[in-house]
């Protein structure tokens, strides 16, 4: 604290004072190696290599990386995220643990020019982090955000700041004073309230991504609310910085008085520059980005020259923001928002810089910034109590004002609490803001230390709590019976058809056509085209039925899907309802989009393409995707309804339903019935297919000699016989069903039976029956390659059987325990 000529206190610009250095030029940044040669003319050749600038920085990088990875190895098992490990690494290397004059402390805090290099690397890391987060942010979230997200976003930030200010002026006015003298400045208190009450989109997005909640309904709501709060607080913080500059300009540089209004020269110029920069980003920079996209041929990478030019502008915007007395990340963040997210430009920038920034430079920034934490200065209880009161009040107010609107919108109590915890989470943005304010002298060292420790506590407690309170998988739980077996007669069959690639379109339409849609038995088809999320932070779910305008970035490549299924809708007009969606998400969370869409539309069946595709003659595997296989397995585990995995085998000898109708022949479908709930579900679908005159259904029921000789006593077998009764008597109206019963006593006979009929049909329908003990399959599970297909389904798709028919494996809805 210093005083000007009128004895008015003001805060010195300690950041500029600390970075005024003197040294000898030129500086030799690199050493001569680990074992330098004595013949080198370099007078510094005998100095240890780690005392040079670049080797020193490399060693610090190595130490930070090893430490945070070590911490994260243990803490992730407790549900904590990586940021907590970064903070712990910084505290371990800080003044709190490494005291002055110790060898380790001397190694970490050396000459001024090296400290300046560390600060420069950290600042560039933070700046690039914000630029990349701006590239990831989807501005359409603001346009498409509902009232719930707007109310929560504004209430959790602006209303929280207002309530905190009222509490301070009415109740806590003496906080921050000692014997009537102010210890904390007014701007310091306002700054603490402002940072504590906001919710940063990058921080919220990173938390949800690490907890794998970004695809849940709660995660989408939290990110939409964070976008609203980010924009509102950005405007508010810019105004506060401008007011502070006016105050400082009056006390130090002089000003021009117009009545009672003070008009500072430099603050006005800086404010005007900020406005001009925003206009440049909107009206010049963003159109240039679309020009680059237009100049880039489809499927080709963006030229490196364009990417490097954008990065140069990013660094220039940081320098301009610093001159305007704004945080250095403001300029890069605005330019990041102006870059169209997704391919080709947004994804190209992320693929080039994301891994190095998030994996290497960002931990270095957090750890080196945390080195300034010094717990030895926490000696005054008044200082500590004042800061703790301010932080506690702001947390309680923000938590309450986030919970209240969510509860008023009818959200469950647990979800309201989880949402409030997410919006109250503190991370790298808040820590960076406090570190920047500490360097600029806005907050004192004791304040920076206490707030940093609070951020560490916040980041260590909230993620594990969220995992305990909120489980996204429970949203897909099947409380009601949503399967084909328990459907009412002549009711609408609702199917969610998933498309991974364009090769899945034709087989999926052919299968849907086989479900016999008619005006008496309509079919509602919800088509979901799944695409991997590249170049943006938030997952996107597009309803093409509700879409009234073209997206800014028409790179979703769903046109073939939309056109093909619209034609299917026209071919069966009045019998088929079609609604097409596109989901962009990370592969590990795609099952959330599938299950959520099935839950919202109360579907009875989800159809998933198999992860392998074959050549036209069926002799070789064309593609094999491990990602699709993991996705299918996740849907099988969490689905709210029945699931079918469709293995499509195309060959010259296999026909579609339309081809059989043109040749006046039948499409041959075989349903293998071994017993169990999955087989009963598969038989229900086969009975519906039998209503189509173009399809001939053959039900092959396997029965052992013991079952034939003895009467059924267990409930499961009685249910099987009851369902088979109508099929045996062939009394289904309008159905063409052939029933046969085969006596099979072991797995070897089952294999021989399948070999004999493998190429007699166009499609096999079987139940998955995971974990069910049966004499028909005993011992075969040891040879199964794909457990998601069940034993019979895996056997039909194996190369040993050489089956050229398609296979549909059905799993009935799993009820909650």
Q: Is the pLDDT of residue 669 over 60?
A: yes
H/E stretch holding 506 reads helix 505-513
Taking the CA of residue 657 as centre, how many other CA atoms within 13 Å lie in the half-sphere pointing to its CB? 21
Name the least confident of 438-447, 467-476, 585-594, 632-641: 467-476
Q: Is the pLDDT of residue 456 over 50?
A: yes
C-beta contacts of 176-184 below 8 A and 24+ residues apart: 176/386, 176/390, 178/382, 183/382, 183/383, 183/386, 184/386, 184/387, 184/444, 184/447
Using CA atoms, how far apart are residues 90 and 67, in angstroms rounded to an integer?
A: 9
Using CA atoms, how far apart are residues 390 and 175, in angstroms rounded to an integer?
A: 8
Residues constituting the chain: 817
Using CA atoms, how far apart are residues 360 and 125, in angstroms rounded to an integer?
A: 9
H/E stretch holding 543 reads strand 540-543
How high is the pLDDT of residue 652? 47
Mean pLDDT of the chain: 78
Using CA atoms, how far apart are residues 277 and 321, in angstroms rounded to an integer?
A: 9
For the chain, the C-alpha Rg in angstroms (whole number) is 33
Query: Using an 8 Å Cβ cutoff, are 252 and 10 in contact?
Result: yes
Name the least confident of 3-12, 122-131, 765-774: 3-12
How high is the pLDDT of residue 538? 63
Q: Greater confidence, 693 or 714? A: 693
Q: In sequence order, what are the residues at sequence separation of 6 or more whose Cβ sits closer than 8 angstroms to the Cβ of residue 231?
A: 142
> Where do runs of H (alpha helix) occur along 357-481?
362-370, 381-408, 413-423, 428-440, 445-469
Q: Can you tell me the mean pLDDT for 415-431?
A: 89
Using CA atoms, how far apart are residues 604 and 643, in angstroms rounded to an integer?
A: 8
Q: Can you tell me the mean pLDDT for 595-602?
A: 84
Q: Among 204, 119, 195, 248, which Cα is nearest to 434's?
A: 195
Confidence of residue 555 (pLDDT cuts 50, 70, 90): very low
**Burial class of residue 662, CB neighbours in 10 A (0-12, 13-18, 19+):** exposed
Confidence of residue 105 (pLDDT cuts 50, 70, 90): low
H/E stretch holding 720 reads helix 715-729
C-beta contacts of 731-735 below 8 A and 24+ residues apart: 732/687, 732/690, 732/691, 734/691, 734/693, 735/687, 735/690, 735/691, 735/697
DSSP SS3 for 446? helix
For the record, the structure tokens of 316 come out as: 């220039």
Q: Is the pLDDT of residue 85 over 60?
A: yes
Q: What is the pTM of this model?
A: 0.68
Name the least confident of 357-361, 506-510, 524-528, 812-816: 812-816
Q: Is the pLDDT of residue 263 over 50?
A: no
Name the least confident of 196-205, 206-215, 634-643, 731-740: 731-740
For the four alpha carbons of 230, 236, 240 and 245, in that order, the dihedral sign comes to positive
Confidence of residue 508 (pLDDT cuts 50, 70, 90): very high
Q: Greater confidence, 54 or 345? A: 345
């Amino acid at each position: 604290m210093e005083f000007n000529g009128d004895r008015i206190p003001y805060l010195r610009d300690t950041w500029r004072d600390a970075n005024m250095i003197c040294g000898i030029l030129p500086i030799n940044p690199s050493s001569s190696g680990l074992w330098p040669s004595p013949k080198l003319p370099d007078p510094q050749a005998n100095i240890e290599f780690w005392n040079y600038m670049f080797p020193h920085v490399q060693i610090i990088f190595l130490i930070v990386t090893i430490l945070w990875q070590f911490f994260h190895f243990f803490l992730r098992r407790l549900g904590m995220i990586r940021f907590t490990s970064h903070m712990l690494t910084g505290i371990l290397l800080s003044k709190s643990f490494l005291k002055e004059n110790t060898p380790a402390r001397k190694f970490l805090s050396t000459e001024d020019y090296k400290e300046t290099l560390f600060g420069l690397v950290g600042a560039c890391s933070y700046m690039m982090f914000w630029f990349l987060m701006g590239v990831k942010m989807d501005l359409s979230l603001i346009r498409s955000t509902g009232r719930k997200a707007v109310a929560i976003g504004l209430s959790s930030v602006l209303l929280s700041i207002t309530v905190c200010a009222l509490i301070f002026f009415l109740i806590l006015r003496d906080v921050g004073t000692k014997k009537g003298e102010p210890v904390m400045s007014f701007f310091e208190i306002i700054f603490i309230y402002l940072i504590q009450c906001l919710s940063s989109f990058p921080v919220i997005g990173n938390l949800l991504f690490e907890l794998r909640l970004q695809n849940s309904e709660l995660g989408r709501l939290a990110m939409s609310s964070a976008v609203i709060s980010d924009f509102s607080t950005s405007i508010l913080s810019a105004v506060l910085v401008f007011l502070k500059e006016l105050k400082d300009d009056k006390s130090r540089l002089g000003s021009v008085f117009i009545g009672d209004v003070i008009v500072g020269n430099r603050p006005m110029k800086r404010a005007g520059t900020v406005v001009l920069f925003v206009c440049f980003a909107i009206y010049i920079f963003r159109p240039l980005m679309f020009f680059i996209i237009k100049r880039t041929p489809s499927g080709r990478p963006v030229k490196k020259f364009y990417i490097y030019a954008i990065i140069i502008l990013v660094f220039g915007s940081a320098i301009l923001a610093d001159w305007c007395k704004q945080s250095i990340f403001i300029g890069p963040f605005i330019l990041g928002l102006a870059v169209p997210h997704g391919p080709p430009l947004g994804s190209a920038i992320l693929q080039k810089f994301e891994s190095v920034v998030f994996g290497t430079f960002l931990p270095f920034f957090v750890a080196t910034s945390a080195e300034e934490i010094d717990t030895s200065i926490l000696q005054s209880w008044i200082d500590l109590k004042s800061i703790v009161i301010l932080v506690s009040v702001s947390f309680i107010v923000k938590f309450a004002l986030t919970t209240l609107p969510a509860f008023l919108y009818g959200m469950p109590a647990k979800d309201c609490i989880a949402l409030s915890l997410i919006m109250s989470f503190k991370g790298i943005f808040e820590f960076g803001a406090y570190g920047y304010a500490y360097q600029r002298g806005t907050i004192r060292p004791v304040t920076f230390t206490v707030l940093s420790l609070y951020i560490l506590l916040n980041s260590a407690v909230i993620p594990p709590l969220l995992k305990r309170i909120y489980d996204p998988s429970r949203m897909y739980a099947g409380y009601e019976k949503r399967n084909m077996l328990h459907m009412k007669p002549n009711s609408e069959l609702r199917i969610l058809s998933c498309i991974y690639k364009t090769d899945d379109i034709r087989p999926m339409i052919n299968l849907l056509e086989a479900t016999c849609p008619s005006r008496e038995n309509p079919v509602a088809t919800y088509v979901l085209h799944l695409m991997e999320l590249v170049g943006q932070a938030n997952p996107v779910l597009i309803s093409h039925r509700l879409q009234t305008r073209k997206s800014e970035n028409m790179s979703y490549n769903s046109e073939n899907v939309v056109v093909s299924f619209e034609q299917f809708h026209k071919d069966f007009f009045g019998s088929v309802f079609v609604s097409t969606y596109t989901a962009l998400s990370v592969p590990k969370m795609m099952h959330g989009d599938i299950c959520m869409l099935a839950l919202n539309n109360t579907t009875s069946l989800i159809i998933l393409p198999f992860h392998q595709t074959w050549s036209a003659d069926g002799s070789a595997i064309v593609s094999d995707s491990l990602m699709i296989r993991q996705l299918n397995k996740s849907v099988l585990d969490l689905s709210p309804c029945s699931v079918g995995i469709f293995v499509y085998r195309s060959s010259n000898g296999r026909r579609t339903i339309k081809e059989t109708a043109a040749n006046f022949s039948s499409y041959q479908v075989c349903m293998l019935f071994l017993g169990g709930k999955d087989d009963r579900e598969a038989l229900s679908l086969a009975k519906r297919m039998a209503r189509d005159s173009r399809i001939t259904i053959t039900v092959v029921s396997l029965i052992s000699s013991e079952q034939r000789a003895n009467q059924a006593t267990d409930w499961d077998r009685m249910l099987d016989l009851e369902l088979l009764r109508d099929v045996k008597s062939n009394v289904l109206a309008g159905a063409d069903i052939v029933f046969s019963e085969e006596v099979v006593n072991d797995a070897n006979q089952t294999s021989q039976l399948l070999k004999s009929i493998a190429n007699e049909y166009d499609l096999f329908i079987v139940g998955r029956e995971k974990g069910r003990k049966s004499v028909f399959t005993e011992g075969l599970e040891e040879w199964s390659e794909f457990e998601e297909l069940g034993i019979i389904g895996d056997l039909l798709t194996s190369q040993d059987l050489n089956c050229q028919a398609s296979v549909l494996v059905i799993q009935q809805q799993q009820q909650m325990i």
